Amino acid sequence: MKIACLLSGGVDSSLALALLKQKQYDIEAFYLKIWLEDENDSLVDCPWQEDLEYIEKTCEQFDVNLNIIPLQQEYKKNILSYLFSEVQAGRTPNPDLLCNHRIKFGAFYKALSKKGLRYDKIATGHYANVEQKTSLFELFKSKDLVKDQSYFLSRLNQEQLAKALFPLAPYTKSQVRKLAIKWKLPAAERKDSQGLCFLGKIRFSDFLSKHLADQSGEIIEYESKKTIGEHLGFWYYTIGQRKGLGLSGGPWFVIAKDVKRNQVYVSRNYYSPDKKRDCFYATDVHWISGKTPTNSELEALEVKLRHGTLAYHCKIEDVLVKPLFVRIKGCDQGIASGQFAVFYSQDKCLGCARISLPSQYLNLCNAS
């Protein structure tokens, strides 16, 4: 089997390479170049050079050829443009989820094809599992449910899953660390990276301020409708945000944004009954199988509203009607427009949909 292994410089992808090499596959290593070279000031401090040093040492240790694939333009077009359009519309983007679909298993494979390169599989250090059932490829959670990254892979289609290989599926993070130390991998004790790779050590808000002009607006208390502060743009705030509001007498929480008026609504009574959120609409529906889930899958349906272990039992009012109307068993104050709802039936990931809510949304269920 001929395998293209994507490396990031971290311990996970390094061990994925080591495991594949142990099985004596024909392996080529690849690093995707997406750092922003035209950001010619000190704002973007992307640690790509440090990443490459770890990658080069790992490839040298296992005698694997390393290729660097430039995908900056593809990243700008498919990820950054999406990110900016979402925040300007008052939504909460998830670029990591789309990066897997559009870049790692999208633009990267197209780049290989243009070079006339063919590989049976594309391997990464994701914590997830792919199984083939007859002609259908299915995505499952990994053994490590805390580290599981099936949420971020829920946008992949059948063609992409057919190429995907996740060597870390049967391992927990602690097992990965132990094996990496045992095999003396260069990245064995390197800390996991956080956030968007191209941002490096800067804050996301600082990155936005460089690309979006500040626009002052009002911070309004929801209950009294009184203006209690000012902000420099609603796009700097997310639903449920508590820190960085600059308001006294708190704690205050962001509960809504009015995009047209550039207003941010806050409340000190974030968990009061009138702000309960236990349902939502969802558009841009993607089922991994290419087909609507079966009745048995819908009966055992769960949804994740963000990466992590928390999943809610849920019910879709009518799976054939778009947008979907989803009701969760429980309450989640952080439901926000633009987030991805990822659906599961037990350990199998069925697909995802993008949450779509009106900007004034506070209590959809009671109003419906």
Q: Which residues form the catalytic set?
A: 99, 197
DSSP string across 304-335 = ESSSSS--EEEEES-TTSSSEEEEESS--TT-
**Placement of tokens 């929801």 in the chain:** 222
- H or E stretch covering 177: helix 173-182
Contacts for 243-252: CB closer than 8 Å, 24+ residues apart: 244/205, 245/219, 247/219
163: tokens are 């190429």
CB-side neighbour CA atoms (13 Å) of 19? 21
Q: In angstroms, rounded to a whole number, what is the distance separating the alpha carbons of residues 262 and 285?
A: 29
Could you give the 3-state DSSP secondary structure of residue 78?
helix
Q: Classify the C-alpha dihedral 212-217-221-224 as positive or negative.
A: negative
Coil, helix or strand for 285?
Answer: strand
Q: Greatest CA span in the chain, whole angstroms? A: 67
Show the tokens assigned to 258.
């009015």
Residues paired with 341 in a beta bridge? 353
